[in-house]
């Protein structure tokens, strides 16, 4: 193989290091060869797509899948004049070829990796020397929707209530005794990396000692071929002080949202991401009462993007 190295990379567009609709995506393809190399075709593509897939077990295993393309652009760097004769030449050594694409200025979801689905934006190169020899490489670039609220089309009431307090009450009976749980969250919407206060009032009119616990609940929903599947995950935020029997106590916790947590979104037809704040009471030898409050996670402040190391994928295309 005369092609020793093939790499595609892109210019950082802003402080955050991510692209959005309408941005210009510029970069370069670098190829290193040991000697003059004839090629049939050499091109670079920019792609945006979403895809979901999962298996449904039963008498027969069924695969449910779907995909959607947001854009697919192609820039031909070199192509021989007569198809298949390999008349184009790449000089020996290091060769750099610039390219530029304009990302469509339409609503598209942010990059995302879920349990059974992915929203991916990537650059791919393909260098064809012959039907037997094809070199490829790929790199993903981060993409962020332009919408400040990527769920606005679903519910205007959500946006109006982002800064309002939310509260709920749950009364549980254990024989003739009862425990009352009142939960109040400072607000419904919070940004990545921010903190929010959650207060729990426990009226323990029982002979049991109870302990409040705080959870972040994540819900991923995927859709394909008129079917849906949900992946739920609960992460323990914190544990409050125990409330002894026949006492009343209020516990306030400051909960910090992890900065790397993906924001809430609904603007993809095949998947969505939602969150809830769950507060439970750990009751010995009894069913634990719980309260769930809505939680919308918004995009946080820009941070410098650390680009992943590029990798080249090499293979020979074998005849069919």
Same domain as 292, residue 172: yes
Structure tokens at 313: 């994928």
Query: Are the C-beta atoms of residues 73 and 101 closer than 8 Å to each other?
Result: yes
> What's the CA gap between 151 and 159, in Å, rounded?
9
Query: Are the C-beta atoms of residues 297 and 272 closer than 8 Å to each other?
Result: no
Question: Checking DSSP bridges between strand 247-256 and strand 312-314, what pairing results, if any?
Answer: unpaired
Whether 202 maps to a domain, the answer reads: yes
pLDDT digits (tens, 9 = 90+) for 147-174: 766 664 444 545 556 777 778 888 888 8
Same domain as 78, residue 10: yes
| Neighbouring C-beta atoms of residue 295, cutoff 10 Å | 24
Whether 112 maps to a domain, the answer reads: yes
CATH number at residue 122: 2.60.40.640
Query: Are the C-beta atoms of residues 36 and 89 closer than 8 Å to each other?
Result: yes
Question: What residue numbers bound the domain in which 12 lies?
Answer: 3-147+302-314
> What's the CA gap between 250 and 171, in Å, rounded?
16
Cα three-residue angle 138-142-148, rounded to 5 degrees: 155
Same domain as 195, residue 62: no
pLDDT digits (tens, 9 = 90+) for 71-127: 999 999 988 776 655 568 888 899 999 999 999 999 899 999 999 999 999 999 999
- Per-residue pLDDT, averaged over 281-297, amounts to 88
Q: What is the pLDDT of residue 69?
A: 96
Same domain as 142, residue 13: yes
pLDDT digits (tens, 9 = 90+) for 246-287: 999 998 899 899 999 999 998 899 999 999 999 999 988 778
> What's the CA gap between 171 and 157, in Å, rounded?
28
Q: What is the pTM of this model?
A: 0.83
> What's the CA gap between 194 and 257, in Å, rounded?
6
| Neighbouring C-beta atoms of residue 240, cutoff 10 Å | 21
pLDDT above 90: residue 139: yes
Same domain as 98, residue 78: yes
Whether 115 maps to a domain, the answer reads: yes
Whether 44 maps to a domain, the answer reads: yes
């Amino acid at each position: 193989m005369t092609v020793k190295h093939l790499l595609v990379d892109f210019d950082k567009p802003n402080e955050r290091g991510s692209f959005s609709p309408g941005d210009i995506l510029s970069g370069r393809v670098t190829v290193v060869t040991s000697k003059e190399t004839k090629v049939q075709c050499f091109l670079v593509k920019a792609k945006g797509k979403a895809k979901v897939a999962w298996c449904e077990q039963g008498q027969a295993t069924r695969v449910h899948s779907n995909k959607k393309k947001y854009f697919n652009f192609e820039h031909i760097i070199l192509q021989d004049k007569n198809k298949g004769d390999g008349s184009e030449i790449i000089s020996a050594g290091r060769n750099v070829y610039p390219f530029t694409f304009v990302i469509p200025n339409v609503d598209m979801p942010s990059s995302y990796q879920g349990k059974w689905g992915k929203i991916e934006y990537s650059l791919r190169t393909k260098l064809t020397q012959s039907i037997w020899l094809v070199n490829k490489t790929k790199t993903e670039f981060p993409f962020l929707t332009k919408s400040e609220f990527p769920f606005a089309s679903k519910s205007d009431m959500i946006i109006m209530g982002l800064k309002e307090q939310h509260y709920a009450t749950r009364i549980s009976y254990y024989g003739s005794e009862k425990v009352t749980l009142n939960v109040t969250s400072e607000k419904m919407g919070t940004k990545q990396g921010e903190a929010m206060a959650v207060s729990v009032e426990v009226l323990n009119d029982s002979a049991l000692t109870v302990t409040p616990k705080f959870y972040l609940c994540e819900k991923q929903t995927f859709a394909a071929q008129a079917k849906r599947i949900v992946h739920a995950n609960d992460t323990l935020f914190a544990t409050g002080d125990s409330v002894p029997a026949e006492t009343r106590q209020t516990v306030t916790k400051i909960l910090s949202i992890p900065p790397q947590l993906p924001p809430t979104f609904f603007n993809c037809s095949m998947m969505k991401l939602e969150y809830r704040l769950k507060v439970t009471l750990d009751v010995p030898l009894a069913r634990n009462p719980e309260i769930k409050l809505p939680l919308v996670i918004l995009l946080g402040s820009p941070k410098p993007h650390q680009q992943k190391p590029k990798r080249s994928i090499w293979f020979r295309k074998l005849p069919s």
